[in-house]
Structure 1
Amino acid sequence: MSDFKGRHFEGEIVLWAVRWYCRYGVSYRDLEQMMGERGVSVDHSTIYRWVQSYAPEMEKRLRWQWPTPRSTSWRVDEPYVKVRGQWAYLYRAVDKHGNTIDFYLSPTPNTAAVKRFLGKAMNGLKDWERPTVINTDKAPTYAIALAALKKEGKCPDATLHRQVKYLNNVIDADHGKLKQLIRPVRGFKTRKTAYATIKDFEVMRALRKGQASAFNITRDIRGEARIVERAFGLGASALAEVFQLVREQLDLTAA
């Protein structure tokens, strides 16, 4: 059954709107006008509902394309996100190259939240994929949570916990780019809507950083869009696209 059954617009248009909103940091009203310029008349409230419906599913379907960290040296931090007038804490982990590992939105910055996040980030990793180094700020919650995870066998005993400020420059820079996407929202209404939207912000950031480059057949922005479309069964399969690209290259060579 189609993921877009009952929608008044084709799936390509729905994904187009969701991807644009979560990739370029525009408001819903601005996106309504941008789509109007392309001949698509859709209300900003409809785009909002599309994002809430498809953003979490997009994250779920695309995460397998970068299932493991590219480095065992992690950087962990928690920027603030405003939800219903209150600050929430977006725990994030990237590797030393800036590649996204995982994220978790919590209403409180306590040891339980840190433990839940790090346990989630390490869940399913092979022994050689688990972190050898985790760099954080000097919040005591990290040390307590890591000690508990080691005791439970969820984190290697040999994992080094470092608290060196300059080493988190990589994740601080990544926070800045994510905040550019969050800024037009001007505060989320609920934690549920915040997390749903942030999931796709993170997916678009990961695609932009090339974390699914093996699946980007044309190695460009259109290739990124096709990764998303294929995840929802739209258009040709990846194999068909490869054959088409090869044919085009052979035609150019023959000419």
Structure 2
Amino acid sequence: MVNFKGAHHPKDVILYAVYFYVRFAVSYRDLEEIMSERGVDVDHATLNRWVEKYAKIIAEQALRRKTPTGRSWRMDETYVKVKGRWMYLYRAIDNQGKTLDFMLSERRDEAAATEFFIRAIGNNGFPDRVVIDKSGSNAAGLFNMNCLLMMHNWCWLIEVLQVKYLNNIIEQDHRFIKKITRPMQTFKSFNSAAATLAGIEVAHMIRKGQFSRSGKFGFEQFAELAG
């Protein structure tokens, strides 16, 4: 459950603002105007603080409470600009398009790929196979996961496929993330970027129906994740 103690606005107002920002392609200035039209006087700096504080926590709840995902994965990374520098958003979905996990990294190398796979496996269990592009660092990360399995005497290993056309599904899935981040232009800090992207991923998961909340609107599902 997300703790709203000490907040100067009602919980529903805060959640509405955070959800609207991570779901729709708006800037903080746009959102300030939208909230004002709804009778809520809040400046863009406060809206930014709300997103940074609450979006990441809600995303942690979402990863724990999502419906079961498949064991055939598609993994790739996309680019996000933070403080004028390109950074890397690692993402994985299953073969049905359901989001498995995501992680922002300053680097695109073996260490970052390994960290992502450890995180994704920790949240979802070991996959049967993972489809990646021709990235050597991603292949090395999966090799490290298979070494871990061998060290623990597992009788099977993760199948690694480097087939570009099989990864089209995740390349298409990146589009929602890019659409929402485009008006944001560039993030001011790594923590702000990581929190905002986590919230965007949750909004995307809601669109995909990953929380089995039949008949409930996106905001209602988002609010439920906050407890």
TM-score (norm 2): 0.91
**Paired AA for residue 19 in structure 1:** Y
Tell me whether 21-30 or 54-63 shows the greater mean CA deviation: 54-63
Tell me whether 38-47 or 224-233 shows the greater mean CA deviation: 224-233
Mapped partners of 1:26, 1:40: distance in 2: 17
Identify the residue that residue 4 of structure 1 maps to in structure 2: 4
Mapped partners of 1:203, 1:161: distance in 2: 27
Long gaps (5+) in structure 2: none
CA 203–28 in structure 1, closer or farther in 2 if over 3 Å, else same: same
Aligned 1:24-43 pairs, distance under 5 A:
24-43=24-43
CA contact (8 A) 1:68 1:101 kept: no
1:139-184, Cα deviation, whole Å (9 max, x unpaired): 1112222112111128984321111111111101110111111111
Mapped partners of 1:16, 1:73: distance in 2: 35
Identify the residue that residue 64 of structure 1 maps to in structure 2: 64
1:24-81, Cα deviation, whole Å (9 max, x unpaired): 1211111111111212121111111111111111112222221642x21111101011
CA contact (8 A) 1:17 1:31 kept: yes
Aligned 1:220-231 pairs, distance under 5 A:
220-221=216-217, 224-231=218-225
Identify the residue that residue 239 of structure 1 maps to in structure 2: none
Q: 1:147 aligns with which of 143, 149, 174?
A: 143
Identify the residue that residue 111 of structure 2 maps to in structure 1: 112
Mapped partners of 1:87, 1:48: distance in 2: 21
Mapped partners of 1:232, 1:133: distance in 2: 33
Identify the residue that residue 54 of structure 2 maps to in structure 1: 54
Identify the residue that residue 252 of structure 1 maps to in structure 2: none
Mapped partners of 1:8, 1:32: distance in 2: 16
CA contact (8 A) 1:74 1:93 kept: yes
CA 124–232 in structure 1, closer or farther in 2 if over 3 Å, else same: closer
* Secondary structure of 1:206's aligned partner: helix
Deviation at 1:230, TM superposition (A): 3.1
Mapped partners of 2:155, 2:65: distance in 1: 25
Task: Report % sequence identity.
Answer: 40
* Secondary structure of 1:53's aligned partner: helix
Aligned 1:9-28 pairs, distance under 5 A:
9-28=9-28
RMSD over equivalenced CA pairs, Å: 2.0
Mapped partners of 1:2, 1:76: distance in 2: 30
**Paired AA for residue 42 in structure 1:** V
Identify the residue that residue 135 of structure 1 maps to in structure 2: 131
1:193-242, Cα deviation, whole Å (9 max, x unpaired): 111111111111101110002xx25x242xx3223323444xxxxxxxxx
CA contact (8 A) 1:135 1:167 kept: yes
**Paired AA for residue 36 in structure 1:** S
CA 46–204 in structure 1, closer or farther in 2 if over 3 Å, else same: same
Query: Which structure has the bigger radius of gyration?
Result: 1
Tell me whether 138-147 or 73-82 shows the greater mean CA deviation: 138-147
CA 61–33 in structure 1, closer or farther in 2 if over 3 Å, else same: same
Mapped partners of 2:159, 2:72: distance in 1: 9
Long gaps (5+) in structure 1: 234-255
Q: Does 1:73 pair with 2:67?
A: no
Mapped partners of 1:32, 1:89: distance in 2: 29
Mapped partners of 1:164, 1:148: distance in 2: 20
